[in-house]
Chains A and B, each alone.
Chain A
């Protein structure tokens, strides 16, 4: 049943030519040559995976990107400075003022610990690097490791040829690069490595039935749990896989050993992560794994009883009773657990994965994040390119040669593709599966085709049917029928395949350099004369905060910028990207969408000293606060019904020009964004106060602030900071 771990029967011919040219003294045996080529290729892939992710460093500088990575960077810094114990017990009073946040208990520490360990190792080796460099390069480093794991996985599932192709594909696949360029210091950077490693080790354990592989996979799972909340995918996919094997009659002792050991040890290990804690036994998302665990025991027991009884009829009766009993006990346990509140129901995030429309109706805060939107077709094409076509072909090959391992990879591929369709960011999870399955398609096709091509040269040798699998056999049959035509066709197809693969490589490089290497904290644009213009307004503003405000000043902004303000500005924020308290965020949303005097009361009650807004009207930067504003209204209105979305719309249309709703023109966010904007001419030939991000002339040019005063506006007006005035002296 296990996949025959076959070594490739025909090493690439080109390599042989290369080797022939070497001096005779270096002549190696075929097997050694093959090994050498394989290792060299893998080494090159390893390097390629790393360097292709360095565009961002070359284009900009060695810096942390985006939003969440800044939190990770800040915590890593804390970890290296204060040690593990302090980090584990860190109560951060700088965020979520005045609630604070227990950092140690509310994060996945895997990434920080990994980076800190790398940092320690480097320092032990006397490389005096800064922790920031380590953080910036962690993701590319782990991407390289992922490629190696992909090789072993491919080898386990199919053969080493497929493994090498998989490693090469995943090394440059844009779907993965989008989350692992240098500077993208986020959980996913190490989590994809951990995910693939866990799957690989588990498949290996299932194939071998070995306790040690199973233990290794439990540790892989532990690393995954420590690194990313996406571990829920593992703990649901693996039981589903086991269930499918049970249903299709592929139950074996190997599976029993692999799953039980992995589940029990993995669960115990995962409980050591504070953020996960008792969820494995208490949360609805993890119950499937537990149910399958018990089911396996029942299965094993039945197997044993069957073995003991030896009487079919008696066993049938026994089976019926046991299965009914087991199922009803399980159902009752689940029902009682859920009803008593011991087992928590599924979270909103989980629901929104199963039902793409759920978040939009129930949890605006999840729906408001752009990476949680359903995926557009174009982004599949963008992220996968030819893999999108190779994927079904690979599935075909997998079904052709069905084994425990291929069943796993097929299930992984299909489920993750579904999730990738639900949420943009989950393309990342699907990428390894798509690469592996496509690699099987590429490898199998190329292998078959080369065999056809080589068949002419070595007619006699290849004539003897070596192929063991069905696909090989069939292709052989065709060859014998019409060789000359077949050979030409094979050459053409081979050339076509290489053309496609080279297009893939070009596409990946282009996407990486153009789309995925922007740090998003420094913006680049083309100037009027085609030169590159850099907008470094974010850092300008954060450093202004750092240097010009009181150390305990509280800054209110929309939650997107919370992590950056604490990490770069070193100031207390009201809300940040860890959106754990919806009410608090709604309060900020309410303040932003209220009139100035109402907002002032809210800000006073939160001790706000500064308000920070992001404004793109001057530069044409479209992801600014005015464009996010409707989400603030929705989230604020979700908790405080005084805020009503229709008040900000005109006939269901969101506008900021003269025709805008009166409440819109006078709410705090509008005033802060457009304060004194009416005096500015942004574009030649347009009236003053022309908003370039929305392409309209603003509707309220005469904005007076009563309770706030402008404190700082960056060079390109992208970030504007206002000071909240103290209460009037004589009133």
Chain B
């Protein structure tokens, strides 16, 4: 009995730890595979995840026992779909379940490949990524291909057209091109959230390399995206790649030389690229939180329920960034606050004290109504901060106006002289007969 209690007591911290709301990085990841061979052929990528503290759960995609949630609780924090050919998931998982998983704030890594199934394509389409409709088409680049021993059909391409964002790809520059062999996709122009992380070179196109081109390919040049990410409005992050082999040990370890380029790199950029990208996708980088929004009149500390026009007020918010281990103060000089009622009446850049606190002070405009303090902070790669706090602004009360104004002295004089005159007149009129 005592032993049981002891076990329970030692378990408490662990149990508590797993539920802490402060934890933003994912800890449990479900990896769905076409077959278990992938587990060893892509072991470098998985190892890098495991070494960063993630708990990987490998399952076959058609395993009938897999489930994303139980009793309404999600069992995993992220999902890796390395099963490009799967037509139907096992268990209760389908495309809608995966999208619900994302819509409730969880992350997703999807890898398609040459013969990607309709299911994978559907999931991608729902995220704003359209793979080439021609199922036999792959990305071909006759001038940006990776030089290899055999001439080949130029479907193994070396791309170095990365998104320019330190937040997404890490501050260390990726020197070597990334090897890619797979299908291309385009971004849905109506989706404003999807980003091209790795795009094909202007000479690339998407077609079946084994057959003769009869009509112009539907995807051309640098509009072809090879790897894309989406940050949803609820800050769930999604990585979509047109190739599964880019994650493989073979690509991670192989050397690369881009056609036409004299430099030959001993190691391709794949490992660095996908490791950094997975850090971003799994919220180890670029995750901001805003807490402790405060506003009050200058000289006071309590938040009022209503402001008066022309009040002077102070506004402050604390913003922190997740470093992978702890919340660090976020430092930036471009965070702005709006005092907003249908349009911003005040727009001020917040100053910060390098300890995460952003603050400013301003005067309430001479307009009454229901205003909002709005902070809309959208920076490439960072989670978008959208804070709004409603506060009404009232006009002056009847006794808050100035009692005597100099401009009105003639009127005061007139009124009092009239009274005096009337009094004198009455007296004279009544008693002077």
Stretch at the interface among B229-237, B255-263, B267-275, B355-363: B229-237
B212 in the interface (beta carbon within 8 A): no
Inter-chain CA distance A572–B371, complex, in Å, is 14
Residue of chain A at shortest CB distance from B396: A89
B210 in the interface (beta carbon within 8 A): no
Interface pair A729/B370, CB less than 8 Å apart: no
Interface pair A729/B341, CB less than 8 Å apart: no
B213 in the interface (beta carbon within 8 A): no
Give the contacts of A597-615 with B (CB-CB under 8 A).
Answer: 605-606
Cβ of A726: which chain B residues have Cβ within 8 Å of it?
A: 233
**Whole-angstrom distance between the Cβ of B303 and the nearest chain A Cβ:** 15
**Whole-angstrom distance between the Cβ of B340 and the nearest chain A Cβ:** 9
Stretch at the interface among A23-31, A96-104, A634-642: A96-104
Cβ of B193: which chain A residues have Cβ within 8 Å of it?
A: 730-731
Cβ of B238: which chain A residues have Cβ within 8 Å of it?
A: 730
Inter-chain CA distance A728–B262, complex, in Å, is 47
B191, B230, B306, B368: the one contacting A102 at CB < 8 Å is B368
Contact with B along A84-105 (1 / 0, CB 8 A): 0000110101000111101010
Inter-chain CA distance A726–B370, complex, in Å, is 21
Interface pair B392/A91, CB less than 8 Å apart: yes
A249 in the interface (beta carbon within 8 A): no
Interface pair A729/B395, CB less than 8 Å apart: no
Give the contacts of A678-731 with B (CB-CB under 8 A).
Answer: 726-731
Residue of chain B at shortest CB distance from A274: B398
B177 in the interface (beta carbon within 8 A): no
Interface pair A730/B398, CB less than 8 Å apart: no
B103 in the interface (beta carbon within 8 A): yes
Inter-chain CA distance A572–B390, complex, in Å, is 12
Give the contacts of B113-161 with A (CB-CB under 8 A).
Answer: 126-128
Inter-chain CA distance A274–B368, complex, in Å, is 17
Interface pair B370/A97, CB less than 8 Å apart: yes
Residue of chain B at shortest CB distance from A86: B397
**Whole-angstrom distance between the Cβ of A102 and the nearest chain B Cβ:** 6
Residue of chain A at shortest CB distance from B99: A730
State which size class the interface on A falls in.
Answer: 20 to 34
Interface pair A730/B397, CB less than 8 Å apart: no
Cβ of B371: which chain A residues have Cβ within 8 Å of it?
A: 98
**Whole-angstrom distance between the Cβ of A508 and the nearest chain B Cβ:** 44
Give the contacts of A535-570 with B (CB-CB under 8 A).
Answer: 552
Interface pair A100/B191, CB less than 8 Å apart: no
Interface pair A730/B368, CB less than 8 Å apart: no
**Whole-angstrom distance between the Cβ of B149 and the nearest chain A Cβ:** 42
- Give how many A-B residue pairs fall within 8 Å (CB-CB): 64
Inter-chain CA distance A606–B342, complex, in Å, is 7
Given contacts A730-B102, A730-B126, contact A91 B306 (CB under 8 A): yes
Given contacts A93-B392, A731-B128, A731-B192, contact A100 B369 (CB under 8 A): yes
Interface pair B398/A89, CB less than 8 Å apart: yes
B27 in the interface (beta carbon within 8 A): no
Interface of A is mostly: loop
Given contacts A98-B371, A100-B392, contact A729 B398 (CB under 8 A): no
A89, A100, A605, A727: the one contacting B233 at CB < 8 Å is A727
**Whole-angstrom distance between the Cβ of A107 and the nearest chain B Cβ:** 14
Residue of chain B at shortest CB distance from A606: B342
Inter-chain CA distance A144–B62, complex, in Å, is 83
A91, A104, A605: the one contacting B342 at CB < 8 Å is A605
Residue of chain B at shortest CB distance from A105: B395
Contact with A along B391-424 (1 / 0, CB 8 A): 0111101100000000000000000000000000
Cβ of B230: which chain A residues have Cβ within 8 Å of it?
A: 730
**Whole-angstrom distance between the Cβ of A103 and the nearest chain B Cβ:** 11
A91, A98, A727: the one contacting B394 at CB < 8 Å is A91
A89, A99, A727, A730: the one contacting B128 at CB < 8 Å is A730
Residue of chain B at shortest CB distance from A728: B233
Inter-chain CA distance A93–B103, complex, in Å, is 34
Interface pair A98/B395, CB less than 8 Å apart: no
Cβ of B190: which chain A residues have Cβ within 8 Å of it?
A: 731
Given contacts A730-B103, A730-B126, A731-B128, contact A93 B370 (CB under 8 A): yes
Inter-chain CA distance A552–B305, complex, in Å, is 13
Cβ of A102: which chain B residues have Cβ within 8 Å of it?
A: 368, 394-395
Cβ of B236: which chain A residues have Cβ within 8 Å of it?
A: 729
B128, B192, B368: the one contacting A100 at CB < 8 Å is B368
Given contacts A97-B370, A99-B369, contact A730 B342 (CB under 8 A): no
Cβ of A98: which chain B residues have Cβ within 8 Å of it?
A: 341-342, 369-372
Inter-chain CA distance A558–B210, complex, in Å, is 63
B233, B342, B393: the one contacting A729 at CB < 8 Å is B233
Cβ of A93: which chain B residues have Cβ within 8 Å of it?
A: 306, 369-370, 392
Inter-chain CA distance A552–B390, complex, in Å, is 9
Inter-chain CA distance A28–B342, complex, in Å, is 77
Give the interface centre of B103, B190, B370, B371 by most chain A CB atoms within 10 Å.
B370
Residue of chain A at shortest CB distance from B236: A729
Residue of chain B at shortest CB distance from A100: B369
Interface pair B102/A729, CB less than 8 Å apart: yes
**Whole-angstrom distance between the Cβ of A96 and the nearest chain B Cβ:** 8
Residue of chain A at shortest CB distance from B397: A89
Inter-chain CA distance A88–B394, complex, in Å, is 13
Cβ of B372: which chain A residues have Cβ within 8 Å of it?
A: 98
Residue of chain B at shortest CB distance from A727: B233
Cβ of B369: which chain A residues have Cβ within 8 Å of it?
A: 93, 98-100
Give the contacts of A272-300 with B (CB-CB under 8 A).
Answer: 274
Inter-chain CA distance A274–B393, complex, in Å, is 20
Inter-chain CA distance A552–B369, complex, in Å, is 15
Cβ of B342: which chain A residues have Cβ within 8 Å of it?
A: 98, 605-606
**Whole-angstrom distance between the Cβ of A310 and the nearest chain B Cβ:** 23
Cβ of B128: which chain A residues have Cβ within 8 Å of it?
A: 730-731
**Whole-angstrom distance between the Cβ of B185 and the nearest chain A Cβ:** 15
Cβ of A97: which chain B residues have Cβ within 8 Å of it?
A: 370
Give the contacts of B364-390 with A (CB-CB under 8 A).
Answer: 368-372, 390
Cβ of B232: which chain A residues have Cβ within 8 Å of it?
A: 729-730
Given contacts A91-B368, A98-B369, contact A729 B392 (CB under 8 A): no
Cβ of B233: which chain A residues have Cβ within 8 Å of it?
A: 726-730
Given contacts A97-B370, A98-B341, A98-B369, contact A729 B394 (CB under 8 A): no
Give the interface centre of B102, B230, B395 by most chain A CB atoms within 10 Å.
B395
Inter-chain CA distance A605–B127, complex, in Å, is 25
Interface pair B390/A730, CB less than 8 Å apart: no
Given contacts A89-B398, A729-B234, contact A100 B370 (CB under 8 A): yes
Inter-chain CA distance A89–B369, complex, in Å, is 14
Cβ of B234: which chain A residues have Cβ within 8 Å of it?
A: 729
Contact with A along B173-198 (1 / 0, CB 8 A): 00000000000000000111100000
Residue of chain A at shortest CB distance from B191: A731
Inter-chain CA distance A274–B232, complex, in Å, is 51
Inter-chain CA distance A88–B398, complex, in Å, is 8
Inter-chain CA distance A100–B368, complex, in Å, is 7
Inter-chain CA distance A728–B230, complex, in Å, is 13
Residue of chain A at shortest CB distance from B126: A730
**Whole-angstrom distance between the Cβ of B310 and the nearest chain A Cβ:** 14
Cβ of B398: which chain A residues have Cβ within 8 Å of it?
A: 88-89, 104, 274
Which 3 pairs show the lowest CB-CB distances between chains A and B?
A: A91-B394, A93-B392, A98-B370
10 more CB-based (< 8 A) A-B contacts, given A91-B306, A93-B392, A100-B369: A98-B341, A98-B342, A98-B370, A100-B392, A102-B368, A572-B370, A729-B233, A730-B102, A730-B127, A730-B238
Could you list some 30 contacts between A and B, CB below 8 A?
Answer: A91-B306, A91-B394, A93-B369, A97-B370, A98-B341, A98-B369, A99-B369, A99-B370, A102-B368, A102-B394, A102-B395, A104-B398, A274-B398, A552-B390, A572-B370, A606-B342, A729-B102, A729-B103, A729-B232, A729-B236, A730-B126, A730-B127, A730-B128, A730-B191, A730-B193, A730-B230, A730-B232, A730-B238, A731-B128, A731-B192
